[in-house]
């Protein structure tokens, strides 16, 4: 059981007075009773989210309820003590209550009613202290300086994992809620009880009173040592506090569970075969060599326990991401502590502790009184002489070395629904995540909200109604809807302006009733168009006669050029010669072709002359274009195999077929799009810049820029970063590659 040194916890077994309550209580007792009996402290809480996982970690109410500054300490805490009969505990659902430890006396509480009634003649019901003023939104300091710099408390692991759920939600928590603490829910309180039951299987609690900050931190170190002893002797421990550094800042966390039980031996064997590196140092390299005679060295497996309302384990990466980051941090911190890489003096300085300050006599006496229960395994010198501390190894080093363990590249996420998930340690992923999350802590960038595919999180967020990120997403969504109904763009070097058009959905897929002068002007700039009255109707989207002789001749010419293109015998030419000949044929077949564009055969077109390709495009095999209206394709657009682009429209009216009339609507694919294999694009569609369309999709409506759309009909599942956002993202693997960005239109 971790030390209960954290005032302000409102959980069911932790220190249940907030910082302001403790201040008022201290004033009352000081005035009315000079020697009060210290109130009992209880273990700090753990948390279960409304989702059951990941919105906030279970350690939040163990560490996040610590004093807001490092100069405060609580007058009592809890020391870990082993159960009476230490032994390796088998995996079982049975849970036993811990026995009372020797010296655990009944606590007498002060008579607060008398204190309150006698204080300056005031009523026995004191006025609740008001919360401190919330942080101003105009504060330009970084979150790191505002909330996690001395004298305020250091980072908790919760602080670093919260961004994996939603950075903006956590920023709002810090700046909008009293003391920067989340509002507790019934599910969180239930998680507290679950964790208490699990902890009672391993530890019992002994009350210890402390007189200084140094006593308090000494008790935390003592609990760490006792936790390692419990792990060594029983093969399991819980609530082990660890420290580490992230981006130069001190971070504190509490590991739910450590054990020798391998959660997935087969997976670990596969992992060791695939990732094994004999040159890589192991934690055991830092331990004494006397372990060789004791057989196989046990490994420690880290566990984080999550409470869930559902009995099904979460499989969404968005749900698992915070828990994985949390476990990765624990594994790294524990490994560095075991390797004696942690600078404890730096930790002491961050907490404002004096490393040369002696523990108080009362603290030493209380710890010493536990000798029979807790020090039965301490090695004594043969002659009983006093051994000065300077000549003795630090107790933490002794316990790490005695454990003779390694921390493998395997961590476990356990759910109260009796399910578990095992993950391999990923140092690179952790480094990338920490680099990104520390950017907003340092105010190098603004905090980010969730992506559109994770918008379900907003339903559980208490800040949803006032969230600026959510409002911006809603506005962007509305803009994307209006984007499809009015479009004006510049086509390549010629600065040809395409006029507004009506989305086919607004016209019930009916043909237009009059010619479109602007589109006709664009068509006049194209090569070898079959110009006639019916062509002007066709290119404008009106009903037209497809068997008009000039149109028939135009289609015949397009097919002949396509046949010439497709029948080119590669065996007779070099690769460069093939590319040159294809480029020459495309120049005669299509309306416009930009430099560097390459299209694989076969290519099928209706006319060809109504197709405009930008620069540096690529189309794989079997691209089919029914270009009875303008088909405008921007720069650097790529097509997978078997893509079909259909401008041709056929009304559902039977008479339209009897009368043998058709109509067509233009299709536009803007710069930098990726169109997957077997995609079908229907009449009147515009696909915005940078958008990806997944394989097999049927695009029936226009898509905004920078999204991913899949399915039939195609639906947006994800938003993408713009080019500017990608260039500003240090984690983007492409931004530092050679090459210049194209100029924007």
Burial of 260 (0-12, 13-18, 19+ CB in 10 A): middle
Q: How far is CA 101 from CA 74, 82, 108, 419, in A?
A: 22, 9, 18, 33
503-728: which CATH number, 2.160.10.10, 1.20.1560.10, 3.50.50.60, 2.40.50.140?
2.160.10.10
| Range with the poorest average pLDDT among 310-314, 562-566, 595-599 | 310-314
Which of 316-320, 453-457, 594-598 reaches the highest mean pLDDT? Answer: 594-598
Name the band, by pLDDT with cuts 50, 70 and 90, for residue 424: confident
Burial of 135 (0-12, 13-18, 19+ CB in 10 A): middle
3-state class (DSSP) for residue 672 = coil
Q: What is the pLDDT of residues 642-674, one digit of tens each?
A: 999 999 987 777 777 777 778 899 999 999 999
Q: How far is CA 555 from CA 520, 535, 546, 560, 633, in A?
A: 19, 12, 10, 9, 20
| Tokens coding 269 | 């064997």
Mean pLDDT computed over 214-242: 89
Q: Would you say the C-alpha torsion 264, 269, 275, 281 has a positive or negative sign?
A: positive
Q: How far apart are CA 250 and CA 121, in angstroms?
A: 47
Output the pLDDT for position 47.
31
Q: At residue 489, does pLDDT exceed 70? A: no
| DSSP-assigned letter for residue 214 | H
Q: How far apart are CA 707 and CA 720, in angstroms?
A: 5
Q: Return the bridge partners of 77, or none.
A: 208
Q: Is 650 a catalytic residue?
A: yes
Name the band, by pLDDT with cuts 50, 70 and 90, for residue 401: low
- Binning the chain into helix, strand and coil, the percentages to the nearest 5 are 35, 15, 45
Helix axes 317-338, 163-176, angle to 10 degrees: 90
Choose among 83, 294, 122: nearest CA to 203.
83
More confident residue, 491 or 560: 560
Output the pLDDT for position 637.
97
| DSSP-assigned letter for residue 697 | -
Q: How far is CA 380 from CA 81, 223, 392, in A?
A: 20, 21, 12
Output the pLDDT for position 133.
53
Output the pLDDT for position 304.
80
Q: How open is the CA angle 653-654-657, to the nearest 5 degrees?
A: 105
Q: How far apart are CA 102 and CA 27, in angstroms?
A: 32
Q: At residue 469, does pLDDT exceed 60? A: yes
Name the band, by pLDDT with cuts 50, 70 and 90, for residue 177: confident
Q: Give, for 598, the enclosing helix (H) or strand (E).
A: strand 598-599
Q: What is the CA radius of gyration of the chain?
A: 35
Output the pLDDT for position 318.
77
Q: How far apart are CA 618 and CA 600, in angstroms?
A: 8
Output the pLDDT for position 297.
66
Kindly report the average pLDDT of the chain as a whole number.
Answer: 74
Place of tokens 């596969």: 270
Share of the chain above pLDDT 70, in %: 61
Residue/partner pairs of 552-555 with CB below 8 Å, 24 or more apart: 554/529, 554/530, 554/607, 554/609, 555/606, 555/607
Q: Residue 602: which residues within 8 A CB-CB, separation 6 or more?
A: 562, 566, 621, 622
Q: At residue 186, does pLDDT exceed 70? A: no
| DSSP-assigned letter for residue 342 | -
Q: Residue 684: which residues within 8 A CB-CB, separation 6 or more?
A: 501, 503, 504, 649, 665, 666, 667, 702
Output the pLDDT for position 659.
74
pTM for the full model?
0.50
Catalytic option among 195, 371, 570, 650: 650
Q: What is the pLDDT of residues 95-145, one digit of tens each?
A: 333 333 333 333 333 444 444 444 444 444 444 444 455 555 578 899 999
Q: At residue 731, does pLDDT exceed 70? A: yes
Residues carrying CATH 2.160.10.10, the chain: 503-728
Output the pLDDT for position 207.
85
Share of the chain above pLDDT 90, in %: 33
Name the band, by pLDDT with cuts 50, 70 and 90, for residue 360: very high
Q: What is the pLDDT of residues 672-688, one digit of tens each?
A: 999 999 999 999 999 99
């Amino acid at each position: 059981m971790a030390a209960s040194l954290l005032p302000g916890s409102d959980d069911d077994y932790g220190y249940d007075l907030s910082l302001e309550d403790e201040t008022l209580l201290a004033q009352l007792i000081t005035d009315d009773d000079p020697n009060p009996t210290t109130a009992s402290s209880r273990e700090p809480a753990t948390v279960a989210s409304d989702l059951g996982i990941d919105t906030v970690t279970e350690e939040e109410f163990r560490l996040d309820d610590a004093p807001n500054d490092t100069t405060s300490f609580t007058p009592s805490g809890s020391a870990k003590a082993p159960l009476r009969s230490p032994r390796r505990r088998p995996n079982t659902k049975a849970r036993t209550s811990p026995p009372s430890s020797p010296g655990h006396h009944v606590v007498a509480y002060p008579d607060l009613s008398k204190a309150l009634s006698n204080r300056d003649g005031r009523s026995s019901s004191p006025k609740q202290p008001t919360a401190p003023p919330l942080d101003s939104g105009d504060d330009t300091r970084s979150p790191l300086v505002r909330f996690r710099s001395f004298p305020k408390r250091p980072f908790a692991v919760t602080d670093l994992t919260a961004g994996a759920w939603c950075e903006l939600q956590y920023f709002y928590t810090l700046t909008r809620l009293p003391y920067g603490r989340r509002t507790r829910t019934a599910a969180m309180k239930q998680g507290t009880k679950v964790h208490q039951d699990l902890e009672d299987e391993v530890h019992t609690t002994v009350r210890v009173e402390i007189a200084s900050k140094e006593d308090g931190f000494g008790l935390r170190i003592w609990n760490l040592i006792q936790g390692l002893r419990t792990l060594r002797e029983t093969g399991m421990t819980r609530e082990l506090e660890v420290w580490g550094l992230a981006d130069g800042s001190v971070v504190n966390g509490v590991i739910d569970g450590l054990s020798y039980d391998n959660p997935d031996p087969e997976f670990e064997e596969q992992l060791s075969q695939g990732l094994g590196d004999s040159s890589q140092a192991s934690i055991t390299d830092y331990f004494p060599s006397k372990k060789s005679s004791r057989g196989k060295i046990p490994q420690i497996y880290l566990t984080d326990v999550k409470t869930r309302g559902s009995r099904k384990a979460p499989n969404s990466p968005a749900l698992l991401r915070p828990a994985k980051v949390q476990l990765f941090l624990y594994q790294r911190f524990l490994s560095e502590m075991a390797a004696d890489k942690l600078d404890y003096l730096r930790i002491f300085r961050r907490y404002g502790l004096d490393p040369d300050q002696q523990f108080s006599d009362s603290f030493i006496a209380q710890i010493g009184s536990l000798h029979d229960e807790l020090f039965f395994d301490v090695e004594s010198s043969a002659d009983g002489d006093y051994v000065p501390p300077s000549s003795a190894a630090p107790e933490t080093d002794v316990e790490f070395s005695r454990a003779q363990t390694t921390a493998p590249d395997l961590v476990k996420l356990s759910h109260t629904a009796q399910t578990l998930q095992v993950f391999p340690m990923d140092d690179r992923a952790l480094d990338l995540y920490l680099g990104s999350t520390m950017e907003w802590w340092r105010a190098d960038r603004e905090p980010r909200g969730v992506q559109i595919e994770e918008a379900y999180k907003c339903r559980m967020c208490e800040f949803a109604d006032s969230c600026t990120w959510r409002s911006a997403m809603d506005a962007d969504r509305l803009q994307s809807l209006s984007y499809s109904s009015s479009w004006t763009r510049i086509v390549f070097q010629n600065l040809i302006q395409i006029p507004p058009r009506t989305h086919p959905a607004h016209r019930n897929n009916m043909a237009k009733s009059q010619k479109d002068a602007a589109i006709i002007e664009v068509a006049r700039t194209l090569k070898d168009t079959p110009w006639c009255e019916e062509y002007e109707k066709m290119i404008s989207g009106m009903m037209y006669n497809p068997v008009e002789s000039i149109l028939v001749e135009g289609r015949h010419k397009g097919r002949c050029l396509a046949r010439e293109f497709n029948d080119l015998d590669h065996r007779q030419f070099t690769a460069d010669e093939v590319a040159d000949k294809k480029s020459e044929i495309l120049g005669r077949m299509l309306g416009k072709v930009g430099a560097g564009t390459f299209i694989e055969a076969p290519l099928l077109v209706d006319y060809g002359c109504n197709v405009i390709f930008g620069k540096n495009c690529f189309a794989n095999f079997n691209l089919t274009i029914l270009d009875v209206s303008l088909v405008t394709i921007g720069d650097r657009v790529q097509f997978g195999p078997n893509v079909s682009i259909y401008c041709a429209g056929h009304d559902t009216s039977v008479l339209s077929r009897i009368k043998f009339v058709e109509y067509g609507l233009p299709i536009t694919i803007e710069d930098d799009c990726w169109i997957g294999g077997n995609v079908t694009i229907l009449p009147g569609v515009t696909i915005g810049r940078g958008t990806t369309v997944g394989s097999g999709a049927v695009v029936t409506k226009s898509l905004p820029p920078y999204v991913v759309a899949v399915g039939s009909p195609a639906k947006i599942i994800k938003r993408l970063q713009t080019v500017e956002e990608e260039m500003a993202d240090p984690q983007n693997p492409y931004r530092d590659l050679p090459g210049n960005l194209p100029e924007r239109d």
